[in-house]
């Protein structure tokens, strides 16, 4: 029974890693970082 639970978890993990890699290759991390900086600056009243 344990092996039946393991395969869906591994498949989901592999899919998540693939989507993370695709996003990183497309430069999405810059978009996320830019939004985080803007939100942070707005919180402290600079932006």
Q: pTM, whole model, 2 decimals?
A: 0.60
- Number of domains, the chain: 1
- How far apart (Å, rounded) are the C-alpha atoms in residues 17 and 13? 6
- How far apart (Å, rounded) are the C-alpha atoms in residues 15 and 17? 5
Query: What range defines the domain where residue 37 resides?
Result: 2-43
The residue with greater pLDDT, 5 or 27, is 27
- How far apart (Å, rounded) are the C-alpha atoms in residues 8 and 43? 40
Residues 6+ apart with CB under 8 A from 41: 47
Average pLDDT, the chain: 89
Whether the pLDDT of residue 3 is over 80: the answer is no
Phi and psi torsions of 35, nearest 5°: -65, -40
- How far apart (Å, rounded) are the C-alpha atoms in residues 11 and 37? 34
For residue 44, what pLDDT is reported? 87
Mean pLDDT in residue range 28-39? 92
Mean pLDDT in residue range 27-37? 92
């Amino acid at each position: 029974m344990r092996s039946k639970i393991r395969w869906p978890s591994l498949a989901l993990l592999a899919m998540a890693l693939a989507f993370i890699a695709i996003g990183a290759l497309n430069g999405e991390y810059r978009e996320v970082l830019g939004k985080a900086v803007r939100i942070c600056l707005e919180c402290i009243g600079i932006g």
